[in-house]
């Protein structure tokens, strides 16, 4: 029986690498993995899933008009993989549940749970509500050896806790930290 999985973490936990690995494993067995990525994430080019290790692969771009259910019904994949799930809308997450429930295709979504202000992303909130299984991908704090659970955003070399929720970036803007290191550098509100 197919299920919707939400695998979340902070940045630098290897989420994109995991997607690429799963796709490879399916294809090595002559199975079809369908990959999606939101249009919003263009750090490495639109329609690309790229790991920090340098592995990259094309993916179907998700925007407001993308009919993921129709694409999946036509392609008949053995698995659907989605990167950067935090950027999905609630309606898109519900569409992913339809792929699972109607087509009986497992869907695995990777993404961030919370932003640098410690608020849930809309896509993450919907995934936490609708996923059959929620799993944490572990990451290590940038400053100590504890488990990273939060993102710390830097601007002009200083930690910031205010601003727009979404500003695409990597290690140049964000680091993954534990709660203690987050609180030690920024007032938790």
State the pLDDT confidence band at 147, using cuts at 50, 70 and 90: very high
Per DSSP, the residues of 9-52 read: E-TTS-HHHHHHHHHHHHHHTT--EEEEEETT--TT-TTEEE-T
Catalytic member of 18, 28, 84, 135: 84
Q: Give the per-residue pLDDT at 154.
A: 84
**pTM confidence score:** 0.89
Contact in structure between 124 and 85 (CB atoms under 8 Å): yes
Which of 4-8, 23-27, 80-84, 173-177 comes out lowest in average pLDDT?
A: 173-177
In this prediction, residues 155-166 reach a mean pLDDT of 75
Q: Does residue 189 register a pLDDT over 60? A: no
State the pLDDT confidence band at 50, using cuts at 50, 70 and 90: confident
- 84 as an active site residue: the answer is yes
Q: Where are the alpha helices (DSSP H) in 50-178?
A: 68-75, 90-103, 122-130
pLDDT tens profile 93-126: 999 999 999 999 999 999 999 999 999 999 999 9
Q: Give the per-residue pLDDT at 47.
A: 73
């Amino acid at each position: 029986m197919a299920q919707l999985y939400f695998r979340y973490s902070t940045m630098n936990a290897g989420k994109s690498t995991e997607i690429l690995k799963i796709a490879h494993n399916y294809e090595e067995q002559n199975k079809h993995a369908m990959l999606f990525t939101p249009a919003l994430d263009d750090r490495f080019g639109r329609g690309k899933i790229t790991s920090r290790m340098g592995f990259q692969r094309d993916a179907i771009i998700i925007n407001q008009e993308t009919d993921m259910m129709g694409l999946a019904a036509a392609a008949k994949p053995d698995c659907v993989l989605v990167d950067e799930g935090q950027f999905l809308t609630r309606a898109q997450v519900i569409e992913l549940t339809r792929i699972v429930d109607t087509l009986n295709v497992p869907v695995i979504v990777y993404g961030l749970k919370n932003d640098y202000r410690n608020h849930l992303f809309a896509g993450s909130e919907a995934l936490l509500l609708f996923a059959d299984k929620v799993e944490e991908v572990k990451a290590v704090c940038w400053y100590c050896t504890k488990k990273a659970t939060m993102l710390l955003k830097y601007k002009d070399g200083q930690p910031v806790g205010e601003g727009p929720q979404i500003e695409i970036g990597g290690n140049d803007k964000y680091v993954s930290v534990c709660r203690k290191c987050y609180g030690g550098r920024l007032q938790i509100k």
